[in-house]
A = this chain, B = another copy of it.
Amino acid sequence: MITIGQLARYIGVSTKTIRVYHDKGLFSEPDRDASGYRRYGAKDAIDLVKIRTLAEAGVPLSRIKDLRSATDQEFQQALHEIDNNLTTRIRDLRATQGRLRELAAGHLAPLPTEVAAHLQHLARWGFTPRWVDLQRDLWILVFATHPDRAINLFHDQAETLADLALRQLFLDYDRAHDLNADDPRIDNLARRIAKAIQDRYGPDEPPELDAASAIPALIQDTVNASSPAWQRVDTLIRAHLGA
């Protein structure tokens, strides 16, 4: 009959672990020898291997305890469930590993992949990093606040930018960032943008989030804050549309 330390080394756990299993009642206490030491037999070793197998599979100790007194039927069904559980855990870990590698490559984004791809298109089309960053922030906030409608809104925007002429308009908007606020090209730009909006959406409102939502305004404020020229463009567009 072996001691707790021998059993622990043999099975590959700590003595502490074995004592915890005794305390929690999922591994029955063996008889003690004359000096009060626990003495284990072969049956205990077999039991412990089973318990460890379940514990390593992530089964809570309390559940392992319950399983000890389950019928064979229940036990088999539980094993099946645990097996499935393990399969999804492995799949999740692999997904995490994939994301970890994206993080290593610097590509990790909290956005749907199609949005991330779109942002890369922007860079290739000649938009400045400043613009691309602004767009990323915008979409993150929109997806966070309106998960249901964000994707439609995004598709509309992506469609707009697929059109060469309209894209040029946005490129001009991007480049206007560093103009003086009183540059005559700004009024010209605002006029062209207002016309394009009306051509696309008619006299109705352009698609928006809630009328109540403060997000679009907030985004626009953030945008405007970074350049007097952009602020001027915004003001002029509203004037053209509102009139």
- A126 on interface, CB distance cutoff 8 Å: no
- A239 on interface, CB distance cutoff 8 Å: no
- A2 on interface, CB distance cutoff 8 Å: yes
Given A41-B141, A42-B141, A93-B86, A49 and B101 touching (CB < 8 A)?
Answer: no
Partner of A10, one of B42, B83, B138, B144: B144
Q: What chain B residues lie within 8 Å of A50 (beta carbons)?
A: 103, 108
Which size class do A's interface residues fall under? 35 or more
Q: What chain B residues lie within 8 Å of A160 (beta carbons)?
A: none
Pair B42/A136 contact, Cβ less than 8 Å: yes
Pair B100/A10 contact, Cβ less than 8 Å: no
Residue interface mask A37-78, B partner, CB < 8 A = 1:
000011101101110011011000000000000000000100
- A140 on interface, CB distance cutoff 8 Å: yes
Q: What chain B residues lie within 8 Å of A90 (beta carbons)?
A: 90, 93-94, 97
- A173 on interface, CB distance cutoff 8 Å: no
- A145 on interface, CB distance cutoff 8 Å: yes
Q: What chain B residues lie within 8 Å of A83 (beta carbons)?
A: 97, 100-101, 104
- A143 on interface, CB distance cutoff 8 Å: yes
Pair A96/B53 contact, Cβ less than 8 Å: yes
Please give the residue numbers on chain A whose beta carbons come within 8 Å of chain B beta carbons, in ascending order: 1-2, 6-7, 9-11, 41-43, 45-46, 48-50, 53-54, 56-57, 76, 79-80, 82-83, 86-87, 89-90, 92-94, 96-97, 99-101, 103-104, 108-110, 136-138, 140-141, 143-145, 147, 218
